[in-house]
Amino acid sequence: MPLAISVIGLGPLGAVHAACMADLGHTVVAIDTSMPERADELAAGRTPFYEPGLDDLLAKVLPTGRLTFGTDYAAAADADVHFICVGTPQRKGEYAADLTFVDATVEGLARVLERPALVVGKSTVPVGTAARIALRLKEIAPAGEAVHLVWNPEFLREGFAVQDTVAPDRIVYGVQGQGAGADTARLDEVYATPLATGIPRLVMDYATAELVKAAANSFLATKISFINAMSEVCEAAGADVIALADAIGIDDRIGRKFLRAGIGFGGGCLPKDIRAFMARAGELGAEPALSFLKEVDSINQRRRARMVDLAREECDGSFVGKRVAVLGAAFKPFSDDIRDSPALHIAEAIRRLGATVTVTDPKALPNARKAFPDLDYAEDIEEACREADVVLHLTGWPEYRDFDAAALAKVVRNPVLIDGFNNLDVARWRDAGWTFRALGRPVLDT
Protein backbone atom coordinates (compact mmCIF):
# COMPACT_ATOMS: atom_id res chain seq x y z
CA MET A 1 0.00 0.00 0.00
CA PRO A 2 1.52 3.36 -1.01
CA LEU A 3 2.33 5.69 1.87
CA ALA A 4 2.91 9.43 2.31
CA ILE A 5 6.61 9.83 3.06
CA SER A 6 8.89 12.72 3.89
CA VAL A 7 12.66 12.65 3.43
CA ILE A 8 14.71 15.25 5.31
CA GLY A 9 18.12 16.01 3.82
CA LEU A 10 18.96 16.15 0.12
CA GLY A 11 22.56 15.02 0.04
CA PRO A 12 23.54 11.82 -1.79
CA LEU A 13 21.65 9.69 0.73
CA GLY A 14 18.43 11.69 0.95
CA ALA A 15 18.07 12.59 -2.73
CA VAL A 16 18.51 8.98 -3.82
CA HIS A 17 16.21 7.67 -1.08
CA ALA A 18 13.47 10.15 -1.99
CA ALA A 19 13.58 9.31 -5.69
CA CYS A 20 13.63 5.57 -5.02
CA MET A 21 10.70 5.76 -2.61
CA ALA A 22 8.68 7.62 -5.25
CA ASP A 23 9.66 5.02 -7.82
CA LEU A 24 8.33 2.32 -5.46
CA GLY A 25 4.95 4.06 -5.63
CA HIS A 26 4.94 6.17 -2.47
CA THR A 27 4.09 9.87 -2.40
CA VAL A 28 7.23 11.68 -1.27
CA VAL A 29 8.02 15.21 -0.16
CA ALA A 30 11.78 15.78 0.08
CA ILE A 31 12.98 18.65 2.24
CA ASP A 32 16.26 20.43 2.81
CA THR A 33 16.20 23.39 5.19
CA SER A 34 19.96 24.08 5.20
CA MET A 35 20.58 23.99 1.42
CA PRO A 36 17.35 25.16 -0.26
CA GLU A 37 19.11 25.43 -3.61
CA ARG A 38 19.35 21.64 -3.69
CA ALA A 39 15.60 21.33 -3.46
CA ASP A 40 15.24 23.74 -6.39
CA GLU A 41 17.77 21.89 -8.52
CA LEU A 42 16.28 18.48 -7.87
CA ALA A 43 12.76 19.76 -8.51
CA ALA A 44 14.00 20.89 -11.92
CA GLY A 45 15.43 17.41 -12.56
CA ARG A 46 19.06 18.43 -12.07
CA THR A 47 21.26 16.48 -9.66
CA PRO A 48 23.77 18.62 -7.72
CA PHE A 49 26.21 15.69 -7.54
CA TYR A 50 27.07 12.71 -9.71
CA GLU A 51 25.33 9.45 -8.90
CA PRO A 52 24.81 7.00 -11.77
CA GLY A 53 21.15 6.37 -12.49
CA LEU A 54 19.76 9.24 -10.43
CA ASP A 55 19.18 11.57 -13.39
CA ASP A 56 17.18 8.89 -15.17
CA LEU A 57 15.22 8.10 -12.02
CA LEU A 58 14.29 11.76 -11.50
CA ALA A 59 13.18 12.02 -15.12
CA LYS A 60 10.96 9.01 -14.53
CA VAL A 61 9.31 9.97 -11.24
CA LEU A 62 8.98 13.77 -11.42
CA PRO A 63 6.27 13.72 -14.12
CA THR A 64 4.18 11.35 -11.95
CA GLY A 65 3.75 14.02 -9.28
CA ARG A 66 4.72 11.52 -6.58
CA LEU A 67 7.94 13.39 -5.78
CA THR A 68 7.96 17.02 -4.68
CA PHE A 69 10.53 19.17 -2.92
CA GLY A 70 10.41 21.77 -0.18
CA THR A 71 12.45 23.80 2.26
CA ASP A 72 10.14 23.89 5.28
CA TYR A 73 9.33 21.17 7.80
CA ALA A 74 5.66 22.13 7.58
CA ALA A 75 5.55 20.43 4.18
CA ALA A 76 6.18 17.12 5.98
CA ALA A 77 3.38 17.46 8.51
CA ASP A 78 0.92 15.14 6.77
CA ALA A 79 3.34 12.31 5.99
CA ASP A 80 2.96 8.89 7.60
CA VAL A 81 6.67 8.08 7.64
CA HIS A 82 9.57 10.53 7.97
CA PHE A 83 13.13 9.60 6.97
CA ILE A 84 16.08 11.46 8.53
CA CYS A 85 18.84 11.44 5.90
CA VAL A 86 21.11 14.33 6.94
CA GLY A 87 24.89 14.22 7.20
CA THR A 88 26.97 13.42 10.28
CA PRO A 89 30.44 14.79 9.45
CA GLN A 90 33.46 14.49 11.67
CA ARG A 91 33.69 17.25 14.26
CA LYS A 92 36.38 19.76 13.46
CA GLY A 93 39.53 18.92 15.40
CA GLU A 94 38.01 15.74 16.89
CA TYR A 95 37.28 12.14 15.98
CA ALA A 96 33.65 12.28 17.15
CA ALA A 97 30.67 12.66 14.82
CA ASP A 98 29.00 16.05 14.55
CA LEU A 99 25.28 15.50 15.18
CA THR A 100 24.29 19.13 14.61
CA PHE A 101 22.24 18.36 11.50
CA VAL A 102 20.55 15.32 13.04
CA ASP A 103 19.57 17.20 16.18
CA ALA A 104 18.33 20.21 14.21
CA THR A 105 16.22 17.93 12.04
CA VAL A 106 14.69 16.22 15.06
CA GLU A 107 13.83 19.57 16.65
CA GLY A 108 12.34 21.04 13.47
CA LEU A 109 10.46 17.95 12.38
CA ALA A 110 9.05 17.08 15.79
CA ARG A 111 7.28 20.42 16.14
CA VAL A 112 5.07 19.76 13.09
CA LEU A 113 4.09 16.20 14.09
CA GLU A 114 0.55 16.71 15.35
CA ARG A 115 -0.69 13.21 14.56
CA PRO A 116 0.72 9.66 14.91
CA ALA A 117 3.82 9.21 12.80
CA LEU A 118 6.85 7.00 12.33
CA VAL A 119 10.25 8.70 12.22
CA VAL A 120 12.98 6.61 10.62
CA GLY A 121 16.64 7.40 11.14
CA LYS A 122 18.98 6.53 8.27
CA SER A 123 21.91 8.81 9.10
CA THR A 124 25.05 7.15 10.47
CA VAL A 125 25.17 8.00 14.17
CA PRO A 126 27.08 6.93 17.31
CA VAL A 127 25.48 4.15 19.30
CA GLY A 128 23.04 5.57 21.85
CA THR A 129 21.78 8.35 19.57
CA ALA A 130 18.51 6.64 18.63
CA ALA A 131 17.41 6.15 22.23
CA ARG A 132 18.06 9.83 22.94
CA ILE A 133 16.20 10.95 19.83
CA ALA A 134 13.21 8.73 20.60
CA LEU A 135 12.79 10.44 23.96
CA ARG A 136 13.23 13.90 22.48
CA LEU A 137 10.58 13.28 19.80
CA LYS A 138 8.02 12.33 22.44
CA GLU A 139 8.95 15.36 24.54
CA ILE A 140 8.46 18.03 21.90
CA ALA A 141 6.13 16.59 19.23
CA PRO A 142 2.51 17.73 19.72
CA ALA A 143 1.47 14.10 19.11
CA GLY A 144 3.76 13.02 21.95
CA GLU A 145 3.71 9.26 22.61
CA ALA A 146 2.13 8.62 19.22
CA VAL A 147 5.40 9.52 17.47
CA HIS A 148 7.66 6.46 17.24
CA LEU A 149 11.24 6.01 16.06
CA VAL A 150 12.86 3.20 14.07
CA TRP A 151 16.55 3.15 13.23
CA ASN A 152 17.10 1.91 9.68
CA PRO A 153 20.80 2.34 8.81
CA GLU A 154 21.84 2.85 5.21
CA PHE A 155 24.50 0.74 3.51
CA LEU A 156 24.87 2.64 0.26
CA ARG A 157 27.94 2.56 -1.93
CA GLU A 158 28.55 5.78 -3.82
CA GLY A 159 28.23 5.02 -7.50
CA PHE A 160 25.69 2.26 -6.76
CA ALA A 161 23.33 4.11 -4.41
CA VAL A 162 20.19 3.65 -6.53
CA GLN A 163 20.78 -0.08 -6.79
CA ASP A 164 21.61 -0.37 -3.10
CA THR A 165 18.39 1.43 -2.12
CA VAL A 166 15.96 -0.69 -4.12
CA ALA A 167 17.90 -3.97 -3.95
CA PRO A 168 20.07 -3.90 -0.81
CA ASP A 169 21.80 -7.00 0.51
CA ARG A 170 19.93 -6.58 3.81
CA ILE A 171 17.46 -4.26 5.53
CA VAL A 172 17.93 -3.57 9.23
CA TYR A 173 15.30 -2.20 11.64
CA GLY A 174 16.17 -0.99 15.12
CA VAL A 175 12.93 -0.91 17.12
CA GLN A 176 12.05 -0.47 20.79
CA GLY A 177 9.02 0.15 22.97
CA GLN A 178 5.44 -1.05 23.05
CA GLY A 179 4.78 -0.14 19.43
CA ALA A 180 7.72 -2.10 18.01
CA GLY A 181 5.52 -4.63 16.22
CA ALA A 182 3.37 -2.00 14.56
CA ASP A 183 6.45 0.07 13.66
CA THR A 184 8.02 -2.96 12.01
CA ALA A 185 4.83 -3.61 10.04
CA ARG A 186 4.66 0.00 8.87
CA LEU A 187 8.26 -0.03 7.65
CA ASP A 188 7.55 -3.35 5.92
CA GLU A 189 4.91 -1.43 3.93
CA VAL A 190 7.54 1.09 2.87
CA TYR A 191 9.91 -1.64 1.69
CA ALA A 192 7.25 -4.05 0.45
CA THR A 193 8.65 -4.28 -3.07
CA PRO A 194 12.28 -5.11 -2.20
CA LEU A 195 11.19 -7.38 0.66
CA ALA A 196 9.02 -9.35 -1.77
CA THR A 197 12.17 -10.38 -3.63
CA GLY A 198 13.51 -12.17 -0.56
CA ILE A 199 15.97 -9.58 0.70
CA PRO A 200 16.82 -10.41 4.34
CA ARG A 201 15.12 -8.18 6.91
CA LEU A 202 16.64 -8.13 10.38
CA VAL A 203 14.87 -6.65 13.41
CA MET A 204 16.84 -5.70 16.51
CA ASP A 205 17.13 -3.06 19.22
CA TYR A 206 18.29 0.51 18.62
CA ALA A 207 21.85 0.04 19.84
CA THR A 208 22.50 -3.07 17.77
CA ALA A 209 21.08 -1.45 14.63
CA GLU A 210 23.37 1.54 15.12
CA LEU A 211 26.34 -0.76 15.67
CA VAL A 212 25.63 -2.75 12.49
CA LYS A 213 26.69 0.22 10.34
CA ALA A 214 29.68 1.12 12.50
CA ALA A 215 30.87 -2.48 12.70
CA ALA A 216 30.41 -3.12 8.97
CA ASN A 217 32.39 -0.05 7.95
CA SER A 218 35.10 -0.81 10.51
CA PHE A 219 35.45 -4.35 9.18
CA LEU A 220 35.73 -3.16 5.58
CA ALA A 221 38.29 -0.51 6.57
CA THR A 222 40.25 -3.14 8.49
CA LYS A 223 40.27 -5.51 5.53
CA ILE A 224 41.52 -2.75 3.21
CA SER A 225 44.22 -1.71 5.65
CA PHE A 226 45.22 -5.33 6.24
CA ILE A 227 46.08 -5.88 2.58
CA ASN A 228 47.81 -2.50 2.51
CA ALA A 229 49.89 -3.55 5.51
CA MET A 230 50.77 -6.71 3.56
CA SER A 231 51.66 -4.38 0.69
CA GLU A 232 54.26 -2.73 2.92
CA VAL A 233 55.72 -6.13 3.78
CA CYS A 234 55.72 -7.15 0.12
CA GLU A 235 57.66 -4.04 -0.84
CA ALA A 236 60.26 -4.79 1.84
CA ALA A 237 60.53 -8.44 0.78
CA GLY A 238 60.35 -7.97 -2.99
CA ALA A 239 57.08 -9.91 -3.16
CA ASP A 240 53.89 -9.24 -5.16
CA VAL A 241 50.83 -8.20 -3.15
CA ILE A 242 48.43 -8.98 -6.02
CA ALA A 243 49.53 -12.62 -6.16
CA LEU A 244 49.40 -12.72 -2.37
CA ALA A 245 45.82 -11.36 -2.30
CA ASP A 246 44.74 -13.85 -4.96
CA ALA A 247 46.15 -16.74 -2.93
CA ILE A 248 44.65 -15.82 0.43
CA GLY A 249 41.39 -14.66 -1.17
CA ILE A 250 40.63 -18.18 -2.38
CA ASP A 251 40.07 -19.15 1.24
CA ASP A 252 36.31 -18.72 1.67
CA ARG A 253 36.87 -17.63 5.27
CA ILE A 254 38.73 -14.59 3.90
CA GLY A 255 37.40 -13.87 0.39
CA ARG A 256 38.97 -11.73 -2.31
CA LYS A 257 36.70 -8.66 -2.03
CA PHE A 258 38.33 -5.58 -0.49
CA LEU A 259 41.79 -7.15 -0.74
CA ARG A 260 42.93 -4.71 -3.41
CA ALA A 261 46.15 -3.07 -2.25
CA GLY A 262 46.54 0.57 -3.17
CA ILE A 263 46.39 4.09 -1.82
CA GLY A 264 43.67 3.21 0.67
CA PHE A 265 40.16 4.37 1.39
CA GLY A 266 38.73 7.87 1.51
CA GLY A 267 35.38 9.54 1.01
CA GLY A 268 32.76 10.77 3.40
CA CYS A 269 32.03 7.46 5.14
CA LEU A 270 34.81 5.03 6.08
CA PRO A 271 37.39 7.49 7.46
CA LYS A 272 35.00 9.53 9.58
CA ASP A 273 32.91 6.52 10.61
CA ILE A 274 35.78 4.53 12.07
CA ARG A 275 37.03 7.63 13.90
CA ALA A 276 33.55 8.32 15.29
CA PHE A 277 33.32 4.66 16.35
CA MET A 278 36.60 4.99 18.25
CA ALA A 279 35.44 8.21 19.89
CA ARG A 280 32.16 6.68 21.00
CA ALA A 281 33.88 3.58 22.36
CA GLY A 282 36.00 5.89 24.49
CA GLU A 283 32.90 7.64 25.82
CA LEU A 284 31.42 4.25 26.72
CA GLY A 285 34.57 3.13 28.52
CA ALA A 286 35.37 0.55 25.84
CA GLU A 287 38.29 2.34 24.18
CA PRO A 288 40.68 -0.68 24.26
CA ALA A 289 38.19 -2.74 22.25
CA LEU A 290 38.68 -0.49 19.20
CA SER A 291 42.30 0.52 19.66
CA PHE A 292 43.16 -1.53 16.57
CA LEU A 293 41.24 0.98 14.45
CA LYS A 294 43.94 3.56 15.19
CA GLU A 295 46.40 1.39 13.30
CA VAL A 296 43.84 0.79 10.54
CA ASP A 297 43.63 4.57 10.12
CA SER A 298 47.39 4.95 10.32
CA ILE A 299 48.05 2.31 7.66
CA ASN A 300 45.56 4.03 5.41
CA GLN A 301 47.32 7.37 5.73
CA ARG A 302 50.77 5.81 5.21
CA ARG A 303 49.84 4.53 1.77
CA ARG A 304 49.31 8.08 0.59
CA ALA A 305 52.76 9.04 1.81
CA ARG A 306 54.23 5.96 0.14
CA MET A 307 52.76 6.97 -3.20
CA VAL A 308 54.44 10.37 -2.86
CA ASP A 309 57.74 8.61 -2.10
CA LEU A 310 57.46 6.34 -5.16
CA ALA A 311 56.75 9.31 -7.41
CA ARG A 312 59.72 11.20 -5.98
CA GLU A 313 61.99 8.23 -6.64
CA GLU A 314 60.93 8.28 -10.29
CA CYS A 315 61.69 12.01 -10.41
CA ASP A 316 65.34 11.45 -9.44
CA GLY A 317 64.71 12.27 -5.81
CA SER A 318 63.22 15.73 -6.26
CA PHE A 319 59.97 17.15 -7.59
CA VAL A 320 61.43 20.57 -8.28
CA GLY A 321 60.93 21.38 -11.95
CA LYS A 322 59.09 18.13 -12.63
CA ARG A 323 55.67 17.60 -14.17
CA VAL A 324 53.36 15.03 -12.56
CA ALA A 325 50.08 13.84 -14.09
CA VAL A 326 47.37 12.50 -11.81
CA LEU A 327 44.62 10.31 -13.24
CA GLY A 328 41.70 10.71 -10.87
CA ALA A 329 40.36 13.22 -8.38
CA ALA A 330 37.29 11.49 -6.91
CA PHE A 331 37.90 9.24 -3.91
CA LYS A 332 36.48 6.33 -5.93
CA PRO A 333 35.20 5.72 -9.48
CA PHE A 334 31.57 6.44 -10.46
CA SER A 335 31.43 9.43 -8.10
CA ASP A 336 32.28 13.12 -8.07
CA ASP A 337 32.87 13.01 -4.30
CA ILE A 338 36.29 14.37 -3.31
CA ARG A 339 35.85 14.23 0.47
CA ASP A 340 39.10 12.91 1.95
CA SER A 341 40.18 11.91 -1.56
CA PRO A 342 43.54 10.07 -1.46
CA ALA A 343 44.18 11.16 -5.04
CA LEU A 344 43.88 14.87 -4.31
CA HIS A 345 45.79 14.68 -1.05
CA ILE A 346 48.66 12.97 -2.87
CA ALA A 347 48.51 15.52 -5.70
CA GLU A 348 48.58 18.44 -3.27
CA ALA A 349 51.46 16.94 -1.27
CA ILE A 350 53.51 16.58 -4.46
CA ARG A 351 52.68 20.13 -5.55
CA ARG A 352 53.90 21.47 -2.24
CA LEU A 353 57.19 19.66 -2.82
CA GLY A 354 57.81 21.63 -6.00
CA ALA A 355 56.19 19.79 -8.89
CA THR A 356 53.68 21.07 -11.40
CA VAL A 357 50.75 18.71 -10.90
CA THR A 358 47.95 18.32 -13.43
CA VAL A 359 44.84 16.37 -12.44
CA THR A 360 42.13 14.92 -14.65
CA ASP A 361 38.90 13.11 -13.77
CA PRO A 362 35.72 12.27 -15.72
CA LYS A 363 33.33 13.76 -13.13
CA ALA A 364 35.06 15.38 -10.15
CA LEU A 365 36.99 18.31 -11.66
CA PRO A 366 34.48 21.04 -10.66
CA ASN A 367 34.61 19.93 -7.02
CA ALA A 368 38.38 19.48 -7.12
CA ARG A 369 38.98 22.95 -8.53
CA LYS A 370 37.06 24.51 -5.66
CA ALA A 371 38.82 22.52 -2.93
CA PHE A 372 42.37 22.51 -4.38
CA PRO A 373 42.69 25.66 -6.51
CA ASP A 374 46.50 25.54 -6.65
CA LEU A 375 46.59 22.32 -8.65
CA ASP A 376 46.39 22.37 -12.44
CA TYR A 377 43.52 20.59 -14.18
CA ALA A 378 42.90 19.08 -17.59
CA GLU A 379 39.70 17.80 -19.16
CA ASP A 380 41.25 14.79 -20.86
CA ILE A 381 43.97 12.24 -20.19
CA GLU A 382 46.39 13.27 -22.95
CA GLU A 383 46.24 16.93 -21.96
CA ALA A 384 46.95 16.03 -18.33
CA CYS A 385 49.89 13.81 -19.26
CA ARG A 386 51.58 16.08 -21.78
CA GLU A 387 55.32 16.30 -21.00
CA ALA A 388 54.81 14.48 -17.70
CA ASP A 389 57.81 12.99 -15.92
CA VAL A 390 55.60 10.49 -14.13
CA VAL A 391 51.93 9.51 -14.37
CA LEU A 392 50.01 8.47 -11.26
CA HIS A 393 46.87 6.34 -11.55
CA LEU A 394 44.91 7.23 -8.41
CA THR A 395 41.20 6.61 -9.12
CA GLY A 396 40.01 3.40 -10.74
CA TRP A 397 37.87 4.77 -13.54
CA PRO A 398 37.32 2.35 -16.47
CA GLU A 399 38.52 5.12 -18.80
CA TYR A 400 42.00 4.79 -17.35
CA ARG A 401 42.05 1.01 -17.35
CA ASP A 402 41.13 0.89 -21.02
CA PHE A 403 43.22 3.81 -22.30
CA ASP A 404 45.66 3.33 -25.17
CA ALA A 405 49.00 2.99 -23.38
CA ALA A 406 51.02 3.30 -26.60
CA ALA A 407 49.31 6.54 -27.58
CA LEU A 408 49.88 8.01 -24.14
CA ALA A 409 53.58 7.12 -24.26
CA LYS A 410 53.96 9.56 -27.17
CA VAL A 411 52.84 12.62 -25.17
CA VAL A 412 54.75 12.15 -21.89
CA ARG A 413 58.35 13.16 -21.25
CA ASN A 414 59.12 9.89 -19.48
CA PRO A 415 56.89 6.80 -19.82
CA VAL A 416 56.70 6.00 -16.11
CA LEU A 417 53.40 4.91 -14.57
CA ILE A 418 52.67 4.29 -10.89
CA ASP A 419 49.43 2.41 -10.34
CA GLY A 420 47.90 3.38 -7.03
CA PHE A 421 44.77 1.37 -7.66
CA ASN A 422 46.36 -1.90 -8.82
CA ASN A 423 43.83 -2.61 -11.54
CA LEU A 424 45.79 -1.88 -14.73
CA ASP A 425 47.03 -4.52 -17.16
CA VAL A 426 50.76 -4.59 -16.40
CA ALA A 427 51.74 -6.46 -19.55
CA ARG A 428 49.91 -4.02 -21.82
CA TRP A 429 51.63 -1.00 -20.32
CA ARG A 430 55.05 -2.66 -20.32
CA ASP A 431 54.62 -3.74 -23.95
CA ALA A 432 53.87 -0.10 -24.79
CA GLY A 433 57.26 0.93 -23.38
CA TRP A 434 56.30 2.02 -19.88
CA THR A 435 58.14 1.51 -16.62
CA PHE A 436 55.37 0.21 -14.38
CA ARG A 437 55.36 0.57 -10.62
CA ALA A 438 52.63 -0.15 -8.09
CA LEU A 439 52.23 -0.27 -4.35
CA GLY A 440 53.23 -3.67 -3.01
CA ARG A 441 54.73 -4.95 -6.26
CA PRO A 442 58.28 -5.32 -7.62
CA VAL A 443 59.53 -2.71 -10.12
CA LEU A 444 58.28 -3.73 -13.55
CA ASP A 445 60.05 -2.02 -16.43
CA THR A 446 60.89 -2.70 -20.01
Q: Which residues are catalytic?
A: 269
Cβ-proximal residues to 288 (8 Å cutoff; 6+ apart), any chain: none
Adjacency order of strands within the sheet including 323-327: 376-377, 356-360, 323-327, 390-393, 416-419, 435-438
Q: How far apart are CA 408 and CA 405, in angstroms?
A: 5
Reduced 3-state DSSP string for the chain: CCCEEEEECCCHHHHHHHHHHHHCCCEEEEECCCCHHHHHHHHCCCCCCCCCCHHHHHHHHHHHCCEEEECCHHHHCCCCEEEECCCCCECCCCCCECCHHHHHHHHHHHCCCCCCEEEEECCCCCCCHHHHHHHHHHHHCCCHHHEEEEECCCCCCCCCHHHHHHCCCCEEEECCCCCHHHHHHHHHHHCHHHHHCCCCEEEECHHHHHHHHHHHHHHHHHHHHHHHHHHHHHHHHCCCHHHHHHHHHCCCCCCCCCCCCCCCCCCCCHHHHHHHHHHHHHHCCCHHHHCHHHHHHHHHHHHHHHHHHHHHHHCCCCCCCCEEEEECCCCCCCCCCCCCCHHHHHHHHHHHCCCEEEEECCCCHHHHHHHCCCCEECCCHHHHHCCCCEEEECCCCHHHHCCCHHHHHCCCCCCEEEECCCCCCHHHHHHCCCEEEECCCCCECC
Q: Which residues of 95-107 are buried (b: 16+ CB within 10 A; e: fewer)?
A: bbbbbebbeebbe
